[in-house]
Amino acid sequence: MSVRGRSLLAAGLPLVAGLATLFSALPAWAGSALGAWRISREGQLELRTSPDIQIQAFYESGRGRSGPRIWVDLPGAPIRTRTIPGAGLVRQVRIGKPTPYETRLVLEFQPGTPINPAELRLVGTARDRWRMDLKALGAGLVPLGEGDVEAASAPTWRQGPPATAFVPRGPLNAGSLPQVPRGRFKVVIDPGHGGPDPGAVGIGGLRETDVVLDVGLQVAQLLQARGVQVLLTRTSEVDVDLPPRVALANNSGADLFLSIHANALSMARPDVNGIETFYFQSSLSRALAQAVQEQVLAISPGSPDRGVRPGRFFVIRRTVMPSALVEMGFVTGQIDAPRLADAGFRRRLAVAIATGLLNHLGGR
């Protein structure tokens, strides 16, 4: 974690130029947060929405004759649902209503379209603008859209409520996780840093924000598979300041709060490695920290146990429920950094953290 204590878009191939962009006038969207969408000539999915909303984006790989899908869920139901013929790699686009209170924008791609979900990120560029880079699909991605999405003139959104998400569909293996009563508990997961604040940067350019967001999203998915309601303070690369993180937790009625970070010292000190978890004052918070620390240590052989320690970090000092902050290792450490950079190890970290949280909830 950097001194601030604060709080993923590959370069693609160029699109075929000169193809007409397909736009039509949008009707009034009664209650829906979606104002307009398009796949731009630059190969980006762009959205215009109501300001300061929470949206989520999902990916699902296709099977058989069904191609892969990306979809975005927004608050408010559309005035009408419809299916829009696609072009190029996009088979069709659907505007739907998964619940009476939601709008869903679905991009269904042709079977066999090569999409790497690890490269997908939905990023807030302003209070009412969002962007996902699809340039890696190359010339098969044809401009398409509804409504008028002009480039946002507002500055990059650096502060506000949690607003975007990217969640790969296809559950992690939760079969070995501890059982707790379904629907009984609510947990807040806080992946530190985000957006223009990368947190600590270590060996090989490893960024804390990337590590903790990946682990945090997986922890949330694992807990949800066990019937725990999960709130995330951020779910994509946006910078959420510390007070909104605390406010989200304190207003949620959550049973637990866990802030997820990675440590750093100096690139000149790769000998410094280790796991540590912090709590503030209460015995319940200390027990939570201990439960998480034990599980993370168990899957990190050779990384020193730096202990369960009292700390005064804002997010654990100002939250009203049992709270802890875990440092999963040093991005500058010769032992920890290669592990944190490995997707398989981050998966094990997520399972370990989820196990610690479920153990603690089950013992209450």
pLDDT in tens, 16-50: 222 222 222 222 233 467 888 899 888 889 988 88
Q: What is the pLDDT of residue 156?
A: 33
Task: Calculate what percentage of the chain has a pLDDT beyond 70.
Answer: 82
Q: What is the pLDDT of residue 153?
A: 38
Q: Are 359 and 291 in contact (CB under 8 A)?
A: yes
Question: What does the block give as tokens for 9?
Answer: 């878009």
Q: What is the mean pLDDT of residues 52-60?
A: 77
Cα–Cα distance measured from residue 323 to residue 196, given in angstroms and rounded to the nearest whole number: 26
* Minimum mean pLDDT range among 5-19, 95-109, 168-182, 255-269: 5-19
Task: Calculate what percentage of the chain has a pLDDT beyond 90.
Answer: 50
Question: Comparing 146 with 346, which gets the higher pLDDT?
Answer: 346
Question: Comparing 363 with 261, which gets the higher pLDDT?
Answer: 261
Question: Comparing 243 with 151, which gets the higher pLDDT?
Answer: 243
Question: Comparing 101 with 4, which gets the higher pLDDT?
Answer: 101
Question: What does the block give as tokens for 98?
Answer: 């998964």
| Closest C-alpha to 282, from 246, 305, 256, 252 | 256
Q: What is the pLDDT of residue 217?
A: 92
Radius of gyration of the chain (CA): 21
Give yes or no for residue 310 having a pLDDT over 80.
yes
pLDDT in tens, 294-304: 999 999 999 99
Work out the angle at residue 52's Cα, subtended by the Cα atoms of residues 70 and 83, and round it to the nearest 5 degrees. Answer: 35
Q: Are 296 and 219 in contact (CB under 8 A)?
A: no
Residues 6 or more apart whose CB falls under 8 angstroms from that of 151 comprise none
Between the ranges 153-167, 217-231, 305-319, 338-352, where is the mean pLDDT highest? 305-319
Cα–Cα distance measured from residue 327 to residue 321, given in angstroms and rounded to the nearest whole number: 20
Q: What is the mean pLDDT of residues 241-258?
A: 95
Cα–Cα distance measured from residue 42 to residue 9, given in angstroms and rounded to the nearest whole number: 13
Q: Are 358 and 295 in contact (CB under 8 A)?
A: no
Q: How far apart are the first and last CA of the chain?
A: 30
- Which runs of E-coded beta strand occur in 311-360? 323-330
Give yes or no for residue 353 having a pLDDT over 90.
yes
Q: CA-CA distances (angstroms) from residue 18 to 14, 135, 162, 182, 277?
A: 12, 16, 37, 54, 55
Q: What is the mean pLDDT of residues 54-73?
A: 80
Enumerate domains of the chain plus CATH numbers. 34-146 (2.60.40), 172-362 (3.40.630.40)
Question: What does the block give as tokens for 308?
Answer: 């369960």
Question: What does the block give as tokens for 171?
Answer: 């559950």
Describe the strand order of the beta sheet including 275-279 as a list of residue ranges. Answer: 229-232, 186-191, 256-263, 323-330, 275-279, 305-310
Phi, psi of 301 (to 5 degrees): -60, 135
Q: What is the mean pLDDT of residues 339-350?
A: 92
327 is catalytic: yes
Cα–Cα distance measured from residue 16 to residue 131, given in angstroms and rounded to the nearest whole number: 20
Cα–Cα distance measured from residue 162 to residue 144, given in angstroms and rounded to the nearest whole number: 28
Cα–Cα distance measured from residue 299 to residue 197, given in angstroms and rounded to the nearest whole number: 28
Q: What is the pLDDT of residue 74?
A: 82
Cα–Cα distance measured from residue 340 to residue 213, given in angstroms and rounded to the nearest whole number: 12
Question: Comparing 293 with 67, which gets the higher pLDDT?
Answer: 293
Q: Are 234 and 54 in contact (CB under 8 A)?
A: no
> Given phi > 0 = left and psi -120 to 50 = alpha, else beta, which region is 18?
left
Give yes or no for residue 228 having a pLDDT over 90.
yes
CB atoms within 10 A of CB 268: 8
Question: Comparing 11 with 275, which gets the higher pLDDT?
Answer: 275
Q: What is the pLDDT of residue 42?
A: 86
- 256 pLDDT band, cuts 50/70/90, is very high
Give yes or no for residue 326 having a pLDDT over 90.
yes
Question: Comparing 328 with 145, which gets the higher pLDDT?
Answer: 328
Share the mean pLDDT of the chain. Answer: 81
User: Residue 289 carries which side chain, given as an amino acid letter?
Assistant: A
Question: Comparing 316 with 8, which gets the higher pLDDT?
Answer: 316
Helix, strand, or coil (residue 166): strand
Angle, helix 343-362 to helix 283-298, in steps of 10 degrees: 140
pLDDT in tens, 120-171: 778 777 778 888 888 888 888 888 887 766 543 333 333 333 333 344 433 3
| Closest C-alpha to 150, from 308, 23, 301 | 23
Cα–Cα distance measured from residue 56 to residue 72, given in angstroms and rounded to the nearest whole number: 6
Q: What is the pLDDT of residue 2?
A: 37
pLDDT in tens, 94-119: 998 887 778 889 999 999 898 887 77
- 59 pLDDT band, cuts 50/70/90, is confident
Q: Are 222 and 352 in contact (CB under 8 A)?
A: no
Cα–Cα distance measured from residue 66 to residue 141, given in angstroms and rounded to the nearest whole number: 18
